[in-house]
Structure 1
Amino acid sequence: MRVEPVSEYPPATSRTLAEWLDADLAALHGTESRSRLREIADARAMRRAMWASFLALGSSSVILGLVLLAVGVPPSAHVPLMIVGGVIAVASGLFFGRVRGWLPRPGTSYTTRGAGALGGGLIAAASIFGAINVFLIPGIVSSVDPVPLLALDAGLALVLVSVFVIPAAIIGRGRHTLRREAARNQRLAAALDHDRVTWGPGVAVPMFGPL
């Protein structure tokens, strides 16, 4: 008769969802251990960060276009970009909202080459912005009409914030966000609890929790 070894990892049903979500339990296991709840939180954060970045880029093009209109720049050069940016912003906002009720399938993972926390995103954006402004500021100071260069500098700042700072902030808060939303959103909590009783451990993700 073959006897299965006893697993060192407790089954998902050995604790309630609230117990698995507990921050003190998460602290006991460190930040690097793999669990289904962390897989869910990280995947949701990655997807949310992507749509938030597109939303910010689209909104930035609209804001920059309005500024250019206000200072008298001919609209033919940037109004089409404003329209495209507005469409991207609206579509991204819709997809961003859909992430609220989304649970990734087991094994779903996303990777990013960017910063994984707000501090890293700020450093990356500030470094690039500073390096480019070393060459841009002398042109702004010496230009007879500095408005186009100032607009270019403002647009660069908005792009860097959209691409580096916003996604990094969302990714860095992904697990905290899932814990907060599960406490506030009964539908999400019910979906997580259903996942708790139906999920099975794997080699890469041996535990349901902690978060």
Structure 2
Amino acid sequence: MGAWAAGISVGVELVLLGVFLGLRMDSLAAALGCGIPGLALIVLCGAFYVRVRDRVPRAGRPVSHRGPGGLRQALSFVGFIVFAFVAIFALTAKPDTWHDSSRLLMLAMSLGSVIGLMVAAIVVPATIMGRARESLRSKAMNDPGFRALLEQDFATWRDPVGSASYGPL
């Protein structure tokens, strides 16, 4: 689910970037160049997000994850990366950049795009993964159909390790 939510977020980022570029360059082509792929990504990932939302996760398949596992870790990671980008931009910009408003606007747009992509690719999936167990239990308590799916899965589930509790929960 986190990957589809990240895809939706990247699509929103592309649409916003297209709008900003279209306004900045007074060109409809720039807006459409980013906006159409962004809308396609939103629709495609949204359809898959809705499709997997009501499925029981497969507990038997091991999942490897090397990113942040929650919102706090993701924000710390993204904050460090943004700080690095700000430092790089500040140290490599020419002195006349700070006096030219159009160059500052482009610099701010570049930084905003980096922040938006970091939020879409790192913060959104980490937030979903950090709350996965809680949201799964909440859905099981509030949705009788989903609860029946979990009970059916529990009836056939076998512990691969020997001492683990039931998989998705």
TM-score by length of 1: 0.70
Give the letter aligned to residue 182 of structure 1: A
Q: Which residue in the other structure is 1:194 paired with?
A: 152
Aligned partners of 1:84 and 1:209: how far apart in 2? 37
SS in 1 for 2:75: helix
Q: Deviations over 1:46-102 (max 9, x none)?
A: xx1111111100111101211232344434345222211110111111111122221
Aligned partners of 2:59 and 2:111: how far apart in 1? 43
Q: How far off is 1:109 after superposition?
A: 2.6
Matched, 1:123 2:81: no
Matched, 1:147 2:105: yes
Unaligned runs of 5+ residues in structure 1 are 1-47
In structure 2, which of residues 16, 41, 48 is the aligned counterpart of residue 95 of structure 1?
A: 48
| Distance of aligned partners of 1:210 and 1:111 in 2 relative to their CA distance in 1, 3 Å threshold | closer
Q: How far off is 1:137 after superposition?
A: 4.1
Give the letter aligned to residue 207 of structure 1: S
Q: Which residue in the other structure is 1:68 paired with?
A: 21
CA contact (8 A) 2:59 2:168 kept: no
Q: Which residue in the other structure is 2:65 paired with?
A: 112
Please state which structure has a larger fraction of its residues in helix.
Answer: 2
Aligned partners of 1:190 and 1:80: how far apart in 2? 45
- What percentage of aligned pairs have identical amino acids? 29
Aligned partners of 2:148 and 2:109: how far apart in 1? 48
Comparing both chains, which one has the higher relative contact order based on Cα–Cα distances under 8 Å and sequence gaps of 6 or more? 1
Give the letter aligned to residue 170 of structure 1: I
Aligned partners of 1:86 and 1:210: how far apart in 2? 33
Q: How far off is 1:186 after superposition?
A: 1.6
RMSD (Å), alpha carbons = 2.2
Q: Which residue in the other structure is 2:126 paired with?
A: 168
Q: Which residue in the other structure is 1:182 paired with?
A: 140
Aligned partners of 1:166 and 1:210: how far apart in 2? 20
Aligned partners of 1:137 and 1:49: how far apart in 2? 33
Aligned partners of 1:65 and 1:187: how far apart in 2? 41
CA contact (8 A) 2:18 2:33 kept: no
Which of 138-147 and 92-101 deviates more? 138-147
Unaligned runs of 5+ residues in structure 2 are none
Give the letter aligned to residue 143 of structure 1: D
Q: Any runs of at least 4 consecutive aligned residues in structure 1 with deviations exceeding 6 A, and if so which?
A: none
Greater Rg, structure 1 or structure 2?
1
CA contact (8 A) 1:60 1:155 kept: yes
CA contact (8 A) 2:11 2:42 kept: yes
